[in-house]
Amino acid sequence: MVVVRGVNVYPSAVEEIVRSDGGVAEYRVTISRNDALAEMSVEVEPNDSGDNALG
């Protein structure tokens, strides 16, 4: 568990949300500290299926 801006964030919960769409092949979560607050960013790599293509 990581506390991000006062909210408990569980890695399993992040994975459940990211993978729920089915259009994500891989993802990366980055936690960084800026002053006293932690920030979280999520980068995703889409599946090659093309079903959820952007554009």
Reading the chain (55 residues) residue by residue, the pLDDT tens digits are: 988 888 999 999 999 999 998 899 999 999 998 888 889 999 999 988 655 555 5
| Domain ranges, residue 21 | 2-46
Q: How far apart are CA 36 and CA 50, in angstroms?
A: 40
Distances (CA, A) of 41 to 9, 30, 32, 38: 12, 5, 8, 10
pLDDT at 21: 80
Helices (H), 1-55: 11-20
Asked if residue 36 belongs to a domain, the reply is: yes
- What is the count of structural domains for the chain? 1
Q: What is the pLDDT of residue 6?
A: 87
- pLDDT for position 15: 93
Asked if residue 35 belongs to a domain, the reply is: yes
Q: Within a domain: residue 53?
A: no
